[in-house]
Amino acid sequence: MRLTEFKDHRRELHSFRLRIGIAAVFVVTAFSLLLLRFVYLQIVQYDYYHTKAEDNRISIVPIVPNRGLILDRSGAVLARNYSAYTLEISPDKVTDLDKTIDELATIVEIRPSDRIRFKRLMVESKGADSVPIRTHLTDEEVAKFAVNRYRFPGVDIKARLYRQYPLKELASHVIGYIGRINERDAKRLEDEGQSANYKGTDHIGKTGLEQSYEEELHGITGYEQVEVDSAGRAVRTLSRTPATPGDNLVLTLDIKLQQVADQAFGDHRGALVAIDPSTGGILAFVSKPGFDPNLFVDGIDAANWDALNDSPDRPMVDRALAGTYPPGSTFKPYLALAALELGERTPESTINDPGYFQFGGHRFHDDKPGGHGVVDMYKALVVSCDTYFYMLANDLGIENIAHFVSKFGFGAKTGIDIEGESAGVLPSPEWKRSHFKRPEQQKWYAGETISIGIGQGYNAYTPLQMAQAMATLANNGVMYRPHLVDYIEDPNTGERTTIEPKIVRTIRLKPENLAFIKRALAGVNIEGTGARAFAKAEYTSAGKTGTAQVIGLKPNEKYNAKDTPERYRDHALFIAFAPLENPKIALAVVVENAGFGATAAAPIARQVLDYYLLGKTTDKPAAELPGDEGGD
């Protein structure tokens, strides 16, 4: 019995120790497994996890460069930056946006319009780090929020640079504006490989110079390496690459001249472009009415947007750049020059003007009932005789006209350094063929050529083209590419990159022909249709009036401004350059639905030239001259 017990005991102990041994083997196996895992993670995969840990720890914070300024030729500020506080929400870090905004509203004022804008910006700037709910916080609001900041994870105050256009509507189309980067902008930046440089940048140029010189104005984004904790809070700065600020744009534009021109329009709609003929530098670039570009910087609100968009005056359209108008009689000098150059007329050859030109079964009327009598080329230009040019156009033929005037840039983009330019329409049989679909429309009729003689018909040009053509004529056929920027300036070093004047082409013209046309245009302002507007001018000048029909008149129908609704009244035009001998400025003016060029457009040109050449200013709009005798 004792033996069995002993034996059992021995066997039992043996079995127990066996199992302890098995357990020990299990323990060693398990720990070996752990050891293998450690070796795998800490040796084999070390580089991977080291990088991961560094990525966790180090955050790259972009340093947004200051946007360059836009200055006029004498340094007046047209676009600048100022610093202000905004309250911004990071949508990723906030679970209930509406609740957060409601709670924020108990601390800082949040208007319904702020909420609407926030919603819209959320949609527009998808993927942005943070979206502003309030802008321009007062110091008191900043302090109030700072105290309560702990209650709002994902909400932060940021000091941001804002764009400001101190002159508001003045030159608004030229300067343009910046707006928040939307999905389309983001896509384009990505395609251009610019995404990295726009990290942290919220705004981008949308129109005007802000858009076309975006690259120069933006600058190069800097970077700061900061150590962050798991909540994304910066613990310390590791390294810093400063941003390179954007370059300043210094324009050829003279903002005082711009202001004089702008004011001269009064309440009229229209456009004026003034160019330095010897460089192509734009001196004034007016489109009326304008708009306040400041409205767009932080997302325009619905009411203002509707007001701008729905206005029948269409203030958003840059009329100088994209508006096209029939040139009317301002087209005549180029036809006269064509006739001289092609030998179709001499200055001395005359016609007899009975008050109309009969072609086929149709009578083309002159403005002056009864006609101008015996008319040579000088008189034809000075009094703007229509009959002379009906006949001339008919004799030249459309092909010759189109070929010749195209050299002056009509019907082609000028290549000015802002986007959105219209090419206009220089009609020709070829243009008709490619422009229309139906065969009967594609045919060119001889009667159409006759209308072109007085700048009517299909042709339509931008005020910029008209000004460029005038500048080219003034400059004896040497055509410069028009440009707004004189030089680009590095704000740190002051280093300047000048936009060199670029000759587009040199038109070969006989000096005596040029001299004759210039003399005739000078005559316009001395004894012709421009004489009253340029009475007692203290400088020599050349000009040509024009009046362009907005609606076609039926045969024998007489136009009467008083009986025509305002928007169908004639456009008033005037082209000019001065001084005659050594032109410093060439310009084109279009005043929409204002009637005669001589009475509505020429006085504006007079004010602009008076200021530019003599420094004369007036704070009144250009007075419209009464009556219409002898002019168009």
Partner 1 sequence: MIRRLWLRLSDNIDGPLFALVLALLTVGFITLASAAHDTPARISSQAINIVVALVVMWAVAQLQPQTLMRFAVPAYAIGLALLISVALFGDVVNGARRWLNLGVTRIQPSEIMKIAMPLMLAWYFHTHEAALRLREYFVASLLLLVPVALIARQPDLGTALLVAAGGFYVIFLAGLSWRVLLGVLVAGCASLPFLWSLMHEYQRRRILTLLDPTSDPLGAGYHIIQSVIAVGSGGLSGKGWLKGTQAHLEFIPERSTDFIFAVFSEEFGLIGNCVLLLLYLLLIARGLTIAANAPTFFTRLLAGAVTLIFFTYAFVNMGMVTGLLPVVGVPLPLVSFGGTALVTLLTGVGILMSIHRHRKLVQT
Alpha helices in 40-93 (DSSP H): 46-57
Q: Of the candidates 10, 46, 498, 510, which one interacts with partner 1 according to CB under 8 A?
A: 46
Site membership for partner 1, residue 228 (CB under 8 A): yes
Near partner 1 by CB under 8 A: residue from 20, 60, 446, 535: 20
48 binds partner 1 (CB under 8 A): yes
Residue 231 binding partner 1, by CB under 8 A: yes
User: DSSP label at 483?
Assistant: B
Q: Which of 227, 395, 419, 448 binds partner 1 (CB under 8 A)?
A: 227
Q: Measured from the CB of residue 8, what is the shortest distance to partner 1 in angstroms?
A: 9
Task: Pick the stretch among 30-38, 270-278, 351-359, 541-549 that binds partner 1 (CB under 8 A).
Answer: 30-38
- Number of amino acids touching partner 1 (CB under 8 A): 37
| Candidates 35-43, 182-190, 290-298, 496-504; binding stretch for partner 1 (CB under 8 A) | 35-43
Judged by CB under 8 A, which stretch of 26-34, 129-137, 379-387, 516-524 contacts partner 1? Answer: 26-34
Q: Which of 10, 45, 374, 617 binds partner 1 (CB under 8 A)?
A: 45
Q: Which C-beta is closer to partner 1: that of 28 or that of 553? A: 28
Token pair belonging to 195: 């995404």
Structure tokens at 240: 């810093």
C-alpha–C-alpha distance, residues 336 and 347, integer Å: 9
Q: Give least dist CB 23 to partner 1, A.
A: 6
Which span (95-103, 193-201, 224-232, 615-623) binds partner 1, by CB under 8 A? 224-232
Compose the 50-79 pattern: x for residues touching partner 1 by CB under 8 A, - for all others: x-xxx-xx----------------------
**Distance in angstroms (rounded) separating the CA atoms of residues 448 and 455:** 11
Q: Considering beta carbons, is residue 227 or 628 the nearer one to partner 1?
A: 227
Question: By CB under 8 A, is residue 436 in contact with partner 1?
Answer: no
**Rounded Cα–Cα distance for residues 462 and 324 (Å):** 4
First to last CA, the chain: 144
Residue 355's nearest CA partner among 377, 370, 376, 367 is 370
Measured from the CB atom, is 52 or 119 closer to partner 1? 52
- For the chain, what's the residue count? 632
Nearer to partner 1 (CB atom), residue 17 or residue 187: 17
> Of these, 17, 99, 187, 443, which contacts partner 1 (CB under 8 A)?
17
Q: Which of 1, 3, 4, 37 binds partner 1 (CB under 8 A)?
A: 37
Is the CB of 48 or the CB of 445 nearer to partner 1?
A: 48
For tokens 């001499």, name the residue: 346
Binder to partner 1 among 3, 4, 10, 34 (CB under 8 A)?
34
Burial class (CB in 10 A: 0-12, 13-18, 19+), 177: buried
How many CA atoms lie within 13 Å of 333's alpha carbon, on the beta-carbon side?
32
Query: Does position 7 bind partner 1 by CB under 8 A?
Result: no
Q: Does 441 bind partner 1 (CB under 8 A)?
A: no
Long-range contacts of 342-345 (CB under 8 A, 24+ apart): 342/396, 342/400, 342/404, 344/392, 344/395, 344/396, 344/400, 345/377, 345/392, 345/395
Handedness of CA 618, 621, 626, 629 (dihedral sign): positive
Alpha helices, H only, 243-356: 255-264, 294-297, 302-310, 319-322, 332-341
Cβ proximity of 624 and 597 under 8 Å: no
Of residues 6 and 445, the one with the C-beta less far from partner 1: 6
- What is the Cα Rg of the chain in Å? 36
- Nearer to partner 1 (CB atom), residue 15 or residue 309: 15
Please report how close the Cβ of residue 16 comes to partner 1 at its closest, in angstroms. 6
Nearer to partner 1, 27 or 116 (CB): 27
Q: Which of 102, 215, 229, 512 binds partner 1 (CB under 8 A)?
A: 229
Give the x-and-dash track for 234-253 against partner 1 (CB under 8 A): -x------------------
Could you list the beta-strand ranges (E) of 259-389: 270-275, 282-288, 351-353, 356-359, 362-365, 373-375
Site map for partner 1, 180-219, x if CB under 8 A?
----------------------------------------
41 lies in the site for partner 1, by CB under 8 A: yes
Work out which of 7, 10, 12, 445 binds partner 1, going by CB under 8 A: 12
Q: Beta strand pairing status for 248-251 and 70-71?
A: parallel
Q: How far is the CB of 35 from partner 1 (least distance, A)?
A: 6
Q: Is the dihedral of CA 246, 250, 256, 257 positive or negative?
A: negative
Give the CA distances from residue 278 to residues 417, 462, 468, 475, 517, in Å, rounded to whole numbers and listed in that order: 17, 21, 11, 6, 19
Supply the residues annotated as catalytic.
329
CA 55 to chain centre: 42
Query: Per CB under 8 A, does 15 bind partner 1?
Result: yes
16 binds partner 1 (CB under 8 A): yes
14 binds partner 1 (CB under 8 A): no
- The Cβ-side half-sphere exposure at 316, using a 13 Å CA radius, reads 14
* Under rule CB under 8 A, residue 123 binds partner 1: no
Contact between 386 and 342 (Cβ < 8 Å): no
- Burial (CB < 10 A; 0-12, 13-18, 19+), residue 377, is buried
Residue 583 CA neighbour count, 13 Å, CB half:
28
**Given the rule CB under 8 A, which of 140-148, 225-233, 294-302, 310-318 is the region that contacts partner 1?**
225-233
54 or 495: whose CB is closer to partner 1?
54
Rule CB under 8 A: is residue 304 a binding residue for partner 1?
Answer: no
The two beta strands, 77-89 and 155-164, are antiparallel
Where on the chain is the footprint of partner 1 (CB under 8 A)?
A: 12, 15-17, 19-20, 23-24, 27-28, 30-31, 33-35, 37-39, 41-43, 45-46, 48-50, 52-54, 56-57, 227-231, 235
